[in-house]
């Protein structure tokens, strides 16, 4: 028997095996949609380096209106990986909402000057939440918040949703983020409160805690190198007079936007005291008293490690502001990978810190419930 004859049967067997597996793999990949680029010309980038992805889960295709969640990554993260690992992709697939994933550009030359390469992006890939519209450090370029608001408008108008995509319900647009992403989410809720039904801020800082990213580290209580005891925000957390003016300018329906504030008590990157300052800020926004919560106790989904306070006026059917403190949790997006009935996030092997940690509690699920994204 020749060598060719001896090899023919194994080769044919392998061929038929591959011909059976490849179509199956192709079908499997088709059932797992991937985020797509939001067309650049569909929104006003406002002179920033921001781009965006849009994720439309199969569960919302071919149906009527769907909610929209804007997800803002933290420093040293990227939009796609944060979406997949934080538990938010699992929530989108399970509950059927569209996700808009703005992305910051990593630029080592940013914030060293006002022109050229120095104007765009951020050295650590952070959203520049502290740069207001009149900041000379950015050459008077409008803030990144305006670009993200334009992206929201593009998706609401149908951009990035595909041929058989859903219609986005403009009354059910929410925003969430981690760290600097939470800082930007808070800015969006304040400056564009008419666009958002609610927001969830994980390890965030108050609006107007600083007027530039250069001063944000010291004024907002942010650090990547100092010890925990040295990470302190300025007293009060923000300029209350400017916040009062912002409240007076804001045009928003009563009770909107609703705001969830989540903070780990062992956070050594963002001062946990910011949770108090954010609570003061958003209760003032809604005309509520920060020292008069209507709900005090344990978060039901994690009773042994989460303390919550909720605020709403008499007769409201939902909390307008809720603060959840996670005992002994650091500067991370909390996920839970051990619940097969309700998957939430994944732990990625990485040489650098991911700021996502399995602590037995799903932050995305908590926020999805608060934001009424669970269809």
Per residue in 226-235, pLDDT (tens digit) is 667 677 898 8
Note the pLDDT of residue 137.
44
Long-range CB contacts (within 8 A, 24+) of 179-182: 179/74, 179/75, 179/126, 179/203, 179/204, 179/269, 179/270, 179/331, 179/355, 180/72, 180/74, 180/75, 180/126, 180/127, 180/129, 181/71, 181/72, 181/73, 181/74, 181/127, 182/72, 182/74
Window from 113-122, 140-149, 262-271, 353-362 with minimum mean pLDDT: 113-122
Q: What is the pLDDT of residues 275-295, one digit of tens each?
A: 999 999 999 999 999 999 999
What is the pTM assigned to this prediction?
A: 0.88
The pLDDT of residue 161: 92
For the beta carbon of residue 23, count every other beta carbon within 10 angstroms.
10
Take residue 227 and report the two structure tokens written for it. 């010890």
Range with lowest mean pLDDT among 38-47, 196-205, 293-302, 310-319: 293-302
CATH topology of domain 35-370: Rossmann fold (3.40.50)
Distance between CA atoms of residues 209 and 197, nearest Å: 23
Q: Return the percentage of the chain with pLDDT > 70, whole number.
A: 84
Average pLDDT, the chain: 85
> With 90 as the cut, is the pLDDT of residue 29 above it?
no
Q: How confident is the model at residue 19 (pLDDT cuts 50, 70, 90)?
A: very low
Give 98-107 pLDDT, tens digit per residue. Answer: 999 999 998 8
What mean pLDDT comes out for the span 294-315?
90
Least confident range of 112-126, 182-196, 294-308, 353-367: 112-126
Q: Which of 102-116, 149-163, 266-280, 352-366 has the lowest mean pLDDT?
A: 102-116
């Amino acid at each position: 028997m020749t060598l060719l004859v001896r090899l023919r049967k194994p080769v044919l067997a392998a061929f038929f095996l591959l011909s059976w597996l490849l179509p199956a793999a192709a079908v499997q990949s088709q059932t797992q949609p991937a985020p797509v680029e939001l067309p650049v010309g569909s929104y006003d980038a406002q002179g920033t380096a921001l781009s965006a992805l849009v994720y439309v889960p199969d569960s919302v295709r071919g149906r009527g209106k769907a909610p929209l969640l804007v997800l803002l990554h933290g420093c040293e993260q990227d939009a796609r990986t944060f979406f997949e690992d934080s538990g938010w992709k699992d929530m989108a697939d399970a509950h059927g909402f569209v996700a808009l994933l703005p992305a910051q550009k990593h630029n080592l030359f940013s914030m060293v000057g006002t022109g050229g390469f120095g104007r765009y992006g951020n050295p650590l890939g952070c959203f520049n939440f502290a740069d207001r519209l009149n900041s000379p450090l950015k050459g008077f370029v409008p803030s990144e918040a305006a670009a993200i608001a334009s992206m929201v408008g593009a998706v609401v108008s149908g951009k990035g949703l595909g041929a058989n995509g859903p219609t986005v319900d403009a009354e059910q647009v929410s925003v969430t983020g981690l760290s600097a992403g939470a800082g930007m989410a808070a800015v969006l809720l304040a400056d564009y409160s008419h666009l958002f039904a609610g927001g969830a801020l994980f390890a965030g800082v108050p609006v107007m805690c600083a007027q530039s990213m250069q001063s944000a580290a010291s004024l907002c209580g942010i650090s990547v190198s100092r010890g925990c005891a040295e990470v302190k925000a300025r007293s009060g957390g923000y300029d209350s007079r400017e916040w009062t003016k912002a409240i007076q300018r804001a045009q928003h329906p009563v009770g909107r936007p609703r705001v969830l504030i989540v903070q780990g008590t062992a956070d050594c990157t963002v001062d946990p005291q910011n949770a108090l300052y954010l609570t003061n800020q958003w209760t003032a926004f809604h005309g509520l008293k920060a020292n008069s919560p209507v709900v005090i106790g344990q978060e039901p989904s994690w009773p042994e490690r989460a303390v919550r306070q909720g605020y709403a006026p008499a007769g409201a059917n939902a909390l307008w502001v809720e603060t959840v403190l996670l005992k002994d949790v650091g500067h991370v997006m909390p996920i839970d990978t051990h619940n097969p009935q309700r998957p939430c996030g994944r732990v990625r092997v990485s040489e650098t810190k991911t700021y996502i940690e399995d602590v037995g509690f799903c932050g995305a699920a908590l926020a999805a419930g608060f934001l009424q994204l669970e269809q």
